[in-house]
Amino acid sequence: MTSTSAVRQRLTFRQRLNRADVKLSPYAYVAPFFILFGLVGLFPLVYTFVVSLNNWDLLQGAREWIGLKNYTDEFTDPLFWNSIFNTFSIFVLSAVPQLIAALIIAAILDQNLRAKTFWRMSVLLPYVVTPVAVALIFSNLFGEQYGLVNNVLHGFGIDPIMWKTNTVASHLAIATMVNWRWTGYNALILLAAMQAVPRDIYESAAIDGAGPIRRFVSITVPSIRPTFIFVVITATIGGLQIFTEPKLFNASSSIPGGPFRQYQTTVLYLWDMAFNRGDFGKAAAIAWILFIIIVAFGLLNFAISRRIASAEGWVERRRVRRALAALANRVQR
């Protein structure tokens, strides 16, 4: 203890400052992120949960503490379950074709094309367009009386489709909007992952006789799995929070989500509950339920991806053991 205190006394002010800099600098570098996350992420999340436990009015604020009553009321509200069904229906119709198309487009752009920079920038143009403009354009395209899509169908002798009245048709139209805007964005992310795959592997597979499809399935897809999982998770989060497209799909409707709420998503139902009905307590409860659903889907995607990775690793280890056993038998012979 004496020697340690003596060493500390002999340290100059600059040396002590350097020591403190080495110890505290890493915390200072990461502190802005945690401070910003606490202000715009954690605090609103906690505050929303507090609001969900109260009878909270838009203008008057908290009226009374009611505990979990807002949650129980929502679980028995048919409109809430209708919004959940609409959200998942639109999510499936948009996410699955979107990811498949993004993977195919990325594979095409990964080839040695002419003016490849032009094509890569072109697929990003739909993402640059604002969501409001996209929703208004597609709302006119899928108009029931004078929409371009129904006019084309009429030219082929097909009866017009009630895009803004029929449930399935409205879901398809909104999913088309989502796919048009996000497919190119996801394709560029997957393309960046494909560009990182060593070209020597493709050349070796081609020499061994593997065709383009075989190389894509056996080399490209396993190599970009982490990036593809990231795209799936982000598409899931965005798909379950869809708001702008159904809100502006039929702007003339007095009821958000269509005259029969046939495409009213959960976030749109949340917005209606908060700003049209003025019940912020139930709106906060809906937000927390949606948050839990999104977290559950994220964990499910992570678990499935780990299971797939471990299964493929087990198959690869088994293949290696078989190859080594066959090699050992040849040596013994």
pLDDT digits (tens, 9 = 90+) for 252-273: 777 888 888 999 999 999 999 9
Partnered with residue 279 across adjacent β-strands are 57
pLDDT bucket at 59, cuts 50 / 70 / 90 = confident
Is the confidence at residue 175, as pLDDT, over 90? yes
Considering 84-88, 131-135, 215-219, 317-321, the range whose residues carry the highest mean pLDDT is: 84-88
Q: What is the full DSSP assignment across 74-101?
A: HHT-HHHHHHHHHHHHHHHHHHHHHHHH
- Residue among 283, 280, 276 nearest 256 (CA): 276
Query: Considering Cα of 322, then 326, then 328, then 329, what sign does the dihedral take?
Result: positive
User: How many CB atoms lie under 10 A from the CB of residue 308?
Assistant: 13
pLDDT per residue over 41-52, tens digit each?
888 889 999 999
Banded model confidence at residue 39, pLDDT cuts 50, 70, 90? confident
- For 43-83, give the DSSP string: HHHHHHHHHHTEEEETTTEEEEE-TTHHHHHHHT-HHHHHH
Please report, for the chain, how many H helices and E strands are present, in that order: 17, 2
**Residue 57: what pLDDT?**
79
Q: What's the pLDDT score for residue 309? A: 63
Q: Kindly compute the dihedral angle of the four CA atoms of residues 208, 214, 220, 221, in this order, to the nearest 10 degrees.
A: -140
Strand partners, 198: none
Alpha-carbon dihedral of residues 318, 322, 324, 325, nearest 10 degrees? 130
- Name residue 15's amino acid: Q
Q: What is the mean pLDDT of residues 273-301?
A: 89
Residue 13 has pLDDT above 60, yes or no: yes
Mean pLDDT of the chain: 84
pTM: 0.81
Measured between alpha carbons, how far is 333 from 331 in angstroms, rounded to an integer? 5
Asked whether 105 and 183 are in contact (CB, 8 A), the reply is yes
| Overall average pLDDT of the 19-40 stretch | 82
User: Over pLDDT 70: what percentage of the chain?
Assistant: 89
More confident residue, 235 or 16: 235
For range 75-86, the mean pLDDT: 93
